[in-house]
Amino acid sequence: MQELEQAIAEIKTALPGMKLMEHEPLSAHCSFRIGGPARAIAVPGDMTSLTKLCAILKRHGLMPLMLGNGTNLLFPDEGLDNVLLLSTEKLQKLYRMPGERIYAEAGVPLTRLAAFAQQNGLKGLEFASGIPGTVGGGLRMNAGAYGGEMKDAVESVVYLYLPEQALYEMPRENCDFGYRGSIFSRYGGFAIVSAVFQLQPGDKNEIAASMRALNDKRREKQPLDLPSAGSAFKRPEGHFAAALIDEAGLKGLRIGGAQVSEKHAGFVVNAGGACAKDVVELLQEVRARVYAKSGIVLEPEIVVLPADYTLRDTSPADTGNRVTVSEEMPSPRGEGVIRRPPQAE
């Protein structure tokens, strides 16, 4: 705590122009609309100020918690008073590069990225047009929908490797993308700052029609009218989480203000006044009942914070609340330090 307070004081002195929100309600920074106050949320205006901020934190032995749109996070009711959150909301550079390539900074919403690709007659990101996250968060978790994933479109990722305070560019094949995960989610120490996407030429009208069709399907099937964090559980191999939950008779199950959606059993929604405790208890109950009926363990897709919090059920294969983040970070497998971002065409 003392180190964090000293770091905040230095940030105010060294970076007086940076937006720094103290004791800010986390409920205003996540799609669940749940969470107590954060000690501080810093909002760098560009990549230079981001690197300066991270250097200050490193001097105090701290690492930031990266924050995009908060669309797959559950913040604790008591808030987070022992960490500085780093928001990427102002990292919004987006432009076309030579060929069928797009450069996007981490804070660019996936909906904006998909729309930009369509406007430039580039296909390959239609699946992302309705995903509410950002480029950084989408790459970290390899976001996907309707048969498409971020790994299918990205060429390379530029990230700040926090232990070295150096920028690297990692090609797609080294990012270890998997189902709802990547090297960036499996290990600490990586702060995604931008990416280059390699797409294919296409007809603007056909791309737009495909995006409309996917978004119509989302509106028809998903509970978009209530706060949630998207799919509550990952898809078990050979099964669908929503079907397993429905078969266990859990659609509509409610604990406090948290409810298994009556429209789509794969979603847990804030039906009104939900707190983090309600959501955690509901996730735990769903896991236990699904396991009791089917013998299948559901692994939450929602990231429950703080990181050391774990969900427990009665299964022998209990996996906790998320993919484990290793304390031992691998060496960066990039291709050298990036002095500046790629240039526009």
Three state DSSP letters for 56-78? HHHHCCCCCEEECCCCCEECCCC
Residue 187: pLDDT band (50, 70, 90) is: confident
Active site annotation includes 322: no
Average pLDDT, the chain: 89
The SS3 assignment for 197 reads strand
140, 180, 287, 322: the active-site residue: 180
Q: CA dihedral defined by 242, 244, 246, 249, rounded to 10 degrees? A: -150
Active site annotation includes 228: no
Least confidently predicted of 96-105, 124-133, 319-328: 319-328
27, 89, 301, 322: the active-site residue: 301
User: What's the pLDDT at 111?
Assistant: 96
Q: How far apart are CA 3 and CA 6, in angstroms?
A: 5
Sign of the CA dihedral 269, 271, 272, 278? negative
User: What's the pLDDT at 306?
Assistant: 81
Is the model's pLDDT at 80 over the cut of 80? yes
CB crowding 323-336: b at 16 or more within 10 Å, else e: beeeeebeebebee
Active site annotation includes 301: yes
Q: Where are the alpha helices (DSSP H) in the chain?
A: 2-14, 47-59, 110-119, 135-140, 183-186, 204-221, 241-247, 276-294
User: What's the pLDDT at 71?
Assistant: 94
* % the chain with pLDDT above 70: 89
**Which residue in 298, 227, 236 sits closest to 268, CA to CA?**
227
Is the model's pLDDT at 278 over the cut of 50? yes
User: What's the pLDDT at 91?
Assistant: 97
Domains of the chain and any CATH numbers? 2-87 (3.30.43.10), 94-206 (3.30.465.10), 225-323 (3.90.78.10)
List pLDDT tens digits, range 9-24. 999 999 999 999 999 9
List pLDDT tens digits, range 40-73. 999 999 999 999 999 999 999 999 999 999 999 9
Q: How far apart are CA 33 and CA 70, in angstroms?
A: 10
